[in-house]
Structure 1
Amino acid sequence: MKLVRATFSLVLFCLCITSVQAALPDFRDLVKQASPAVVNISTVQQAQTQTQGMPEFQLPEGQEIPEIFKHFFRFPQGPGQNAPRRKAPQSLGSGFIISEDGYILTNHHVVAEAEKVIVRLSDRRELEAEVIGSDKRSDVALLKIEATELPVVKVGDSDKAEVGEWVLAIGSPFGFDHSVTAGIISATDRSLTNETYVPFIQTDVAINPGNSGGPLFNLSGEVIGINSQIYTRSGGFMGLSFSIPMSVAMEVVDQLKDKGSVSRGWLGVIIQEVSRDLAESFGLDKPEGALVAKVLPGSPAEAAGLREGDIIYSFNGQSINRSGDLPHQVGRISPETDAKVGIVRGGKKKFITVTIGLLPAPGEELKTSASKSKASSANRLNIQISALDDQLRERLGVTSGVVVRRVEEGAGAESGLMVGDVITMLNGDEIDSVDVFAGVVAELPDKKAVPMRIVRRGSPMFVPLKLK
């Protein structure tokens, strides 16, 4: 009887193992099919000889150089001996072939500032590549090699990617060509700091230095992303990898092929996340949308009548759940295109049509002008304020408002106000003088949060203010 039970248990265990194995994906065919189209990318840059910069010493003709001196002085050894020389190619990343005639996708940061780009194919051929175009904002670069009948990847629809599905990466981490790692999609439409124009695909696929620019495949063998970044505290993989969706990459490719650069849509607003307290202060049921903290002068937003304090909840029919969703949507719109923007203003929803502009070069968006102001006061917020003078307006980049000079215990301190903050709007009213500020404060309701717009060290933001 014991033997029968043991046998039954063993059979049951084997069936469970078989069932688990059957549920796990088998990547072998996918790797065989896709690997030939994945390439290693290395670059060549000019460097100086290691001895350059050492003191030079000239010996009399015919005299030999004592060996010990060679370690401390640089001796001329003939024409061109101390001229700049090139480094050997350094393996920096990966890429993949998207057309039989030699177009290759990789990351901008892989080929940035390279004098020469070398592509090593799966058959071990090494070819010099031309950089057709490179876009820093999306971190996408398009290369071209002179070859024909090359193996190519299948480009998939990244918009259909779902959290939890299996994905696979092929690349050259630390120079180890065609290394394969697998995992699942952890999140989609992920916004990263300073990467406002890419809704990243987040995965737990092991990505390391050298994987950059390589493809992310789904189980159908289609590329749905370009492996671009990792989150790390050690310099190596920690379970958080980010890929550029192919829907974004292929839009960039089309423009790079056509003109060598990328044009993006521009709305001209500075936005912030809507917190729970801010949602309450604006009369929203839940925190959602992108709060307009500043409308840039001369921008499409200003021309269309968008105001500071508006909350954008939809753009061209697409819901804006978080503030990071808005730049993704705006950047993909062609300049001079009309877009329908859904906003909440004064607790009511309305639509505004905006003619989208061309995104300026980095640093050009925030150029602003200057205007008015006055004196000093104390109030229900238990703060001391003064009017702006011309020097403050210029230094802080604001045209109107009142500057906080002192903060004592009370409603102002509890809202997070700090000395040096400039209050430009309170409860929907523009603040352009001390008198106006005092009048608005006097009318504020008790025990109800209201929105207050401030500019702190040049950055505009809204904070909720509640009087007890």
Structure 2
Amino acid sequence: MLGARRLTQHGHFDMIDRVNSDTTKTRTILRPRRLALLGTVAALGVAVLAASPASTPFGVNSLISPAQAAESAATPPGFGDLVSKVKPAVISVRVKIDQDNDKSAMLQQNRMDQDETSPFDQFSRQFGFPGGGMNGMPRQRHQVITGEGSGFFISADGYAVTNNHVVDHAESVQVTMDDGAIYTAKVVGTDPKTDLALIKVDGKKDFPFVKFSDQKPRIGDWVVAVGNPFGLGGTVTAGIVSASGRDIGNGPYDDYIQIDAPINKGNSGGPAFDMNGNVIGVNTAIFSPSGGSVGIGFDIPSSTAKLVVAQLKDKGAVTRGWLGVQVQPVTAEIADSLGLKEARGAIVDNPQDGSPAAKAGIEAGDVITAVNGTAIKDSRDLARTIATLAPGTSVKLDVVHKGDTKTVSLALGELPNERQAKADDGKTQQAPGTPRLGLSLAPASDVQGAGQKGVVVTEVDPQGPAAQRGIQTGDVILNVGGKAVANVGDVRSELAQAKSSGKNSVLLQVKSAEATRFVAVPLA
């Protein structure tokens, strides 16, 4: 048995490239070499078992207790019953897309996957298009290309779920069932922010379908993924739930389930099942330096999918509540500088003009700690919470304003399609620093184009703490420690005041060309 394991881990494969007759897409198939070692390994396995005829199912009496052996014997031998139940509801989704003007969402994604400076450089979408300008090759205009993904029926009358990036800008959609039956589908609605889409096959009322799970999976629970990897058709893989609440930089509402069941290009939009045959998530992305599965995949949770799909079915689009603030997480340094006991909540960088938040009196520097009495963990938690509420919903926000806690009531607006609830990840907040900022400053009123408020950064010491915090030449410091500053003397005074008050850090409000943010500078 040990020898058999070694063969599985170290066996060699011949690579055979085959070209599909109806596309230019190349598929790589792995074929095991026929090794004479296999017979030797099998004989070795028999010898090991024969040496211990009274062994447990694991072959090691001294390590397995009777209770463990009994539990092992009761373990189901595989996933056959589950797969036979759910596999008929899983479909392959084939699309044709006009490449004109590079409008395809997937082609845009492919370009980002090539860009090493993009936050997506290590996250490979599960959908492979032939050509499309990959590997530096120029794109051809008005070229009709095809691609394949996965999906699954959620009702007997033909509604099915897949990924937005699978069907976005599709000229035609065709689905193939597990029994080989082929149908034409139409796109009912898409939601790019969560990468979900709803499609519909007409003409039948008895399609096999599956349901979304009502329970959040536990880390360590079994998961079975079914889909169409590399266009091969219905393929089943199994693993466990590796983590939850993952943020992969895909959007403001990231809350992915991480699984280790192998998924590859073409699995996009396919389901991941629990042991009851319910869908716990929709496969959408993998972490892959090479483009193939390395056992780290990401699923849109069923809780998110259910809400989005219901709106797509009802209205063909998703509407979300809009608060109208740019926020970032409260780090330990920010919490200390504001006198907060815990580093929780979302600090407001800037309320947007005319937004519900601005009209309700929320200001830059306020910290939102709860929505309708439910604590807010960080900026992304706030974005996701507000997004689940309908426009016009009345909400109560717990806000820390200049050290005092108050409750603000307001009615949410509607998030326009072109707007995105922006949540800074705060990654520049952690570098160590000192009160010596390493900056040369000048009053903003003395610098053309800088405005009339704050002080302009005219020079940055590359080795100083301000540079480590991401402050750059041209940035404008609006306030220090909650006090507006107009010159270098104001800055020095507020730094000294923060230090004498026993604070470990001081908060700077910094305006750059991109946005206004808060930067916490540690004090020695």
Calculate the TM-score normalised by the size of structure 1. Answer: 0.79
Q: Could you report, residue by residue, the CA deviation over 1:138-165 in whole angstroms, capped at 9, with x for unpaired residues?
A: 111111111221111122115x322221
Counterpart of 1:265, as a letter, is G
Contact kept in structure 1, 2:175 and 2:184, CA below 8 Å: yes
Q: Could you report, residue by residue, the CA deviation over 1:315-355 in whole angstroms, capped at 9, with x for unpaired residues?
A: 23333223221111111110111112223333443322231
Mapping of residues 272-421 of structure 1, within 5 Å: 272-363=328-419, 383-388=439-444, 392-393=449-450, 400-407=453-460, 417-421=471-475
Mapping of residues 256-267 of structure 1, within 5 Å: 256-267=312-323
Mapping of residues 181-192 of structure 1, within 5 Å: 181-192=237-248
Q: Tell me how far 1:219 sits from its aligned partner.
A: 0.9
Mean CA deviation greater in 210-219 or 289-298? 289-298
Q: Could you report, residue by residue, the CA deviation over 1:304-325 in whole angstroms, capped at 9, with x for unpaired residues?
A: 2222222222223333223221
Q: Could you report, residue by residue, the CA deviation over 1:247-303 in whole angstroms, capped at 9, with x for unpaired residues?
A: 222222222222211111111111222222222222233322222222111111111
Contact kept in structure 2, 1:380 and 1:441, CA below 8 Å: no
Mapping of residues 163-182 of structure 1, within 5 Å: 163-182=219-238
- Residue 460 of structure 1 corresponds to 516
Contact kept in structure 2, 1:400 and 1:433, CA below 8 Å: no
Q: 31, 55, 60: which is aligned to 1:13? A: 60
Q: Partner of 2:247: helix, strand, or coil?
A: strand
Mapping of residues 122-137 of structure 1, within 5 Å: 122-137=178-193
CA distance in 2, matches of 1:6, 1:364: 64
CA RMSD of aligned residues (A): 3.1
Contact kept in structure 1, 2:383 and 2:421, CA below 8 Å: no
Q: Tell me how far 1:429 sits from its aligned partner.
A: 2.1
Counterpart of 2:60, as a letter, is F
Q: Tell me how far 1:179 sits from its aligned partner.
A: 0.7
CA distance in 1, matches of 2:77, 2:319: 40
Q: Tell me how far 1:178 sits from its aligned partner.
A: 1.4
Contact kept in structure 2, 1:381 and 1:467, CA below 8 Å: no
Q: CA 1:317–1:426 in structure 2 vs 1: closer, same or farther (change >3 Å)? A: same
- Residue 140 of structure 1 corresponds to 196
Mapping of residues 170-249 of structure 1, within 5 Å: 170-249=226-305
Contact kept in structure 1, 2:333 and 2:522, CA below 8 Å: no
CA distance in 2, matches of 1:23, 1:170: 22
Q: Tell me how far 1:24 sits from its aligned partner.
A: 6.6
Q: Tell me how far 1:17 sits from its aligned partner.
A: 6.6
Counterpart of 2:257, as a letter, is I
- Residue 59 of structure 1 corresponds to none
Q: Partner of 2:253: helix, strand, or coil?
A: strand
Q: Could you report, residue by residue, the CA deviation over 1:381-431 in whole angstroms, capped at 9, with x for unpaired residues?
A: 5643233369635xxxx8843211134587756766432221122111234
Q: Confirm or deny that 1:98 pairs with 2:145.
A: no
Contact kept in structure 2, 1:380 and 1:442, CA below 8 Å: no
CA distance in 2, matches of 1:418, 1:445: 24
- Residue 426 of structure 2 corresponds to none
Contact kept in structure 1, 2:224 and 2:237, CA below 8 Å: yes
Q: 83, 93, 106: which is aligned to 1:41? A: 93
Mean CA deviation greater in 233-242 or 406-415? 406-415
Contact kept in structure 1, 2:188 and 2:312, CA below 8 Å: yes
Q: Tell me how far 1:442 sits from its aligned partner.
A: 6.1
CA distance in 2, matches of 1:433, 1:208: 56
Counterpart of 1:428, as a letter, is G
CA distance in 2, matches of 1:202, 1:226: 11
Runs of 5+ in structure 1 lacking a partner?
49-83, 367-378
Q: Tell me how far 1:185 sits from its aligned partner.
A: 1.5
Counterpart of 1:26, as a letter, is G
Q: 66, 84, 95: which is aligned to 1:32? A: 84
CA distance in 1, matches of 2:496, 2:343: 28
Q: CA 1:354–1:187 in structure 2 vs 1: closer, same or farther (change >3 Å)? A: farther
Counterpart of 1:123, as a letter, is D
Q: CA 1:451–1:46 in structure 2 vs 1: closer, same or farther (change >3 Å)? A: closer
Q: Could you report, residue by residue, the CA deviation over 1:93-114 in whole angstroms, capped at 9, with x for unpaired residues?
A: 1000111111111000000111
CA distance in 2, matches of 1:289, 1:134: 31
Contact kept in structure 1, 2:252 and 2:420, CA below 8 Å: no
Q: Partner of 1:341: helix, strand, or coil?
A: strand
Contact kept in structure 1, 2:212 and 2:306, CA below 8 Å: no
Counterpart of 2:399, as a letter, is I
Contact kept in structure 2, 1:411 and 1:467, CA below 8 Å: no
Q: Could you report, residue by residue, the CA deviation over 1:423-466 in whole angstroms, capped at 9, with x for unpaired residues?
A: 12211123467776566456443462121111234233222234
Q: CA 1:453–1:170 in structure 2 vs 1: closer, same or farther (change >3 Å)? A: same
CA distance in 2, matches of 1:384, 1:124: 70
Q: CA 1:94–1:327 in structure 2 vs 1: closer, same or farther (change >3 Å)? A: same
- Residue 117 of structure 1 corresponds to 173
Q: Partner of 1:31: helix, strand, or coil?
A: helix
Contact kept in structure 1, 2:396 and 2:410, CA below 8 Å: yes
CA distance in 2, matches of 1:386, 1:467: 22
Q: Partner of 1:196: helix, strand, or coil?
A: coil
Q: CA 1:399–1:24 in structure 2 vs 1: closer, same or farther (change >3 Å)? A: farther
Q: CA 1:28–1:382 in structure 2 vs 1: closer, same or farther (change >3 Å)? A: closer
- Residue 149 of structure 1 corresponds to 206
CA distance in 2, matches of 1:114, 1:316: 41
- Residue 13 of structure 2 corresponds to none
